[in-house]
Amino acid sequence: MKPIFGPGPSLELRLVLAILLSISLIFIDSKLIAFKQVRVYLHSAVSPLQYIANMPGQLMDSMSNQVITREQLKKQNSSLREQLLLNRADQLLMESLAKENTRLRALLGSPVRNDSRKLVAEIMAVDSDPFSHQVVIDKGKLDGVFEGQPVINDIGVIGQVLHVGTTTSRVLLITDASHGIPVRIARNDIRAVATGTGELNRLQLPHIPRSTDIGEGDVLVTSGLGGVFPEGYPVAVVNRFDYQEGKPYADVMATPVVELDRLRYLLLIWP
């Protein structure tokens, strides 16, 4: 039986013909402009296929960029949070240092006589005994501190040095039950002795006759007697003057001008 379709040219011949045809078309296209319009039509027809072929790659690139961007944003957000926390901590420290600087400036500007030597000290410890009002400061013999030395701050009298060590000292507060300080009424110069009561916010003036001209609101200042405290430093304000019939002495109480439970810096003075 004779086949309908006869054998065609060999594969080698087909390859040679295709190469010759390609070379001819390339030569004609480079020398003539006949295929220019054809190329435009071919590009227009192929461009949608190119877009479709590029879409998966572009989609993957976009998703990858979004993932990278989100990770970068997370890292940046975490870094900014840490920096904000550090800045806030620094701000708190700066505020604390500013307040401390203000306190020190006020302390050094306290009403100490110009010819008096003065030294700032900081409290290191507070006596845990509720019946003993004493504090330990960071100055001692190496700094020239001596027993009985008066201690004040920018508001008024605090106490006096009780014991002196090499680098530390113990200060007895004016509210200690064993402490007494000669004072006078700033309004009329009446002299008295203010003694501690064992309470941080109260002093008493014992043995004051009921006829003495003392009233609530009178300011007590150091009288200079006794040779310990210089004259004129604020000590306390009278908050009670009371008496009972038949008793020779009045009940006189005063509140220290210094808040002794909030001390941090003190001022040692040399009379």
> What local confidence, expressed as pLDDT, does residue 159 receive?
94
Q: Final residue of a domain: which of 84, 113, 142?
A: 113
131 — phi, psi (to 5°)? -100, 5
DSSP SS3 for 172: strand
Q: Final residue of a domain: which of 79, 113, 147?
A: 113
The span from the CA of 227 to the CA of 184, in Å, is 15
> What local confidence, expressed as pLDDT, does residue 89 receive?
61
Q: Final residue of a domain: which of 113, 148, 180?
A: 113
109 lies in the same domain as 123: no
> What local confidence, expressed as pLDDT, does residue 206 receive?
93
Kindly give, in sequence order, each residue whose CB lies less than 8 Å from that of residue 261, ignoring residues fewer than 6 positions away.
200, 201
Residue 210 within a domain: yes
122 lies in the same domain as 195: yes
> What local confidence, expressed as pLDDT, does residue 30 receive?
66
> What local confidence, expressed as pLDDT, does residue 103 receive?
72
> What local confidence, expressed as pLDDT, does residue 256 receive?
95
> What local confidence, expressed as pLDDT, does residue 22 receive?
77
Kindly give, in sequence order, each residue whose CB lies less than 8 Å from that of residue 159, ignoring residues fewer than 6 positions away.
133, 151, 171, 172, 173, 174, 176, 179
187 lies in the same domain as 162: yes
Digitized pLDDT (tens) for each residue of the chain, 271 residues in all: 555 545 666 777 778 888 887 777 777 666 666 566 666 566 666 667 666 776 777 777 776 666 667 778 888 887 787 677 667 666 765 766 777 777 777 776 655 555 568 888 888 988 867 778 999 999 999 999 999 999 988 888 999 999 999 999 999 999 999 999 999 998 888 999 999 998 989 999 999 998 889 989 999 999 888 888 888 889 999 999 988 887 888 999 999 999 998 888 888 988 7
Number of compact structural domains in the chain: 2
Residue 9 within a domain: no
User: What pTM was computed for the model?
Assistant: 0.63
153 — phi, psi (to 5°)? -140, -160
* Cβ(206)–Cβ(221) below 8 Å: no
Burial class (CB in 10 A: 0-12, 13-18, 19+), 104: middle
- Tokens representing 54 are 């590029």
189 lies in the same domain as 242: yes
With tokens 């008295």, the residue in question is 192
> What local confidence, expressed as pLDDT, does residue 224 receive?
86
Bridge partners (DSSP) listed for residue 137? 123, 169
The span from the CA of 104 to the CA of 91, in Å, is 20
User: C-alpha dihedral over 178, 151, 98, 168, to 10 degrees?
Assistant: -80
